[in-house]
Amino acid sequence: MKNDNPQQLDTDQEIARVIDEVMSSSLSNEQYRQKMQRRKEVQDKRIAQAVPEKGLVIVNTGNGKGKTTAALGMVLRSLGHGYKVAIVQFIKGAWEPSEKRVFSSWQDQLEFHAMGEGFTWETQDRDRDLDKAQAAWEKSLEYIRNPEFRLVLLDEINIALKMGYLQVEQVLAGLATKPNDTHVILTGRGAPPALIERADLVTEMTLVKHPFRDQGVKAQPGIEY
């Protein structure tokens, strides 16, 4: 995504320059100390100018593994702060994942809805998949619009968008109704450009190697589910 903030770009360039200089083995101890002091000054200035809080739209996408796992890390942090969290699964519902059992320890803070019936090649029923995705989206809107919930995770919603079970316009319209301090995470490969443009934080997981693709190793408990 394009960064239109010249001041932000200047700060990033300054930090990158300082890091490059620090990596030089020819620096004396005093030169190193001065460079790191400058790095701290730049970083402290950036933090001082930052907005204290803002509800973020977060997208985890890409072909690599770890999109949901990263999102669940944020869920765990939010629960640790005592916030209320909602998770709606759009695709993986038939798996009854282990995460659901673990998070049952936070029943007072967490709402978990596994509303999909598995991956599309398992169900083989487009109309049913579409109905399930629409029902999951309606349930998601209940939490997105509820100011009591600080974080809402829409797991694999990007797959529903890619398959045409949901329209990006309806998702963007729903995100526009969230309270100012609510965070929403949307996971799944193939996030549409319009959603990426709207998001505040986008991470693309890049696939380098995968045990199933490269070695024929099946999904394993504790790693994939």
Which residues are identified as catalytic? 63, 65, 67-69, 77, 119, 121, 156
CB neighbour list of residue 69: distance below 8 Å, 6 or more residues apart: none
What SS3 state is found at 149?
strand
Rounded distance between C-alpha atoms, residue 159 and residue 112, angstroms: 19
End-to-end alpha carbon distance in the chain: 32
Q: Which residues pair with 154 in a beta bridge?
A: 88, 186
How far is the C-alpha of 202 from the C-alpha of 195, rounded, in Å?
Answer: 10
Q: Which residues contact 13 (CB under 8 A, 6 or more apart)?
A: none
The C-alpha atoms of residue 116 and residue 125 are separated, in whole angstroms, by 12
Nearest 5 degrees, angle CA 109-CA 154-CA 81? 30
